[in-house]
Chains A and B, each alone.
Chain A
Amino acid sequence: DAKTTQPTSMDCAEGRAANLPCNHSTISGNEYVYWYRQIHSQGPQYIIHGLKNNETNEMASLIITEDRKSSTLILPHATLRDTAVYYCIVRPLIQGAQKLVFGQGTRLTINP
């Protein structure tokens, strides 16, 4: 699985957009970028995923660079409840690829 690099921690003011970067320079053509978050001591929550096009859902937007070597997760209007550890994961969509490899993630703190 491709390795990802994320900043250890970030801060964001409540109501502002939170932009979380992820570097995945060794990503393969068949690998997707997934984002999960984990609020303290809870199970990871799926946020969004994409292959090469930008994606948006009710939780967030995912911007993937044209060369696919990096991506940014955007929480458009951060709230205090968005304080969590955010994990960027790359994985192929193929049989037997259910193993998710979690890095250390980014600890995002939303400040009032």
Chain B
Amino acid sequence: KAGVTQTPRYLIKTRGQQVTLSCSPISGHRSVSWYQQTPGQGLQFLFEYFSETQRNKGNFPGRFSGRQFSNSRSEMNVSTLELGDSALYLCASSLSSLGETQYFGPGTRLLVL
């Protein structure tokens, strides 16, 4: 089975712009979670989607949003980018929203200039 895929792998944006990141889960997995990793804050949970519904949300401002499509693929969007949004954005998928093992993708590295 193919693993979790994330596109793009690398991205450079400037302050004020917006960005959309994409995640394709493992085939058959219906839950997708997003995480942000920075050197200062470590790995932090952004949100989780299951059956096209946001099930759980971390402590991030409203500039961070996401959605999930009927094929379980997910996108996350960050609007009005700030320098501090530079990070590795990770997507993880699991079979459902029942706490099963999550499998991570390679991440998208975002640099905001």
Interface residues of A (CB under 8 A from B): 32, 34, 36, 41-46, 49, 87, 91-104
A99 partner, pick from B4, B33, B103, B109, beta carbons under 8 A:
B33
B105 at the interface (CB under 8 A from A): yes
For the A-B complex with A42-B107, A95-B99, A104-B42 known, give 16 more contacts whose Cβ atoms are closer than 8 Å. A41-B109, A43-B105, A43-B106, A43-B107, A44-B92, A46-B103, A91-B99, A93-B100, A94-B99, A96-B55, A98-B55, A98-B99, A99-B56, A99-B58, A102-B43, A103-B42
Within the complex, what minimum Cβ distance (angstroms) separates A10 from chain B? Answer: 18
Q: Report the interface size class on chain B.
A: 20 to 34
Known A-B contacts A100-B45, A102-B43; the reply to A95 vs B56 at CB < 8 A is: no
What total of A-B pairs shows CB separation below 8 Å?
A: 69
Q: What DSSP secondary structure best describes chain A's contact surface?
A: loop
Known A-B contacts A41-B109, A44-B104, A46-B101; the reply to A96 vs B42 at CB < 8 A is: no
Task: Give the residues from 52 to 88 in chain B that come closer than 8 angstroms, CB to CB, to chain A.
Answer: 55-56, 58, 88
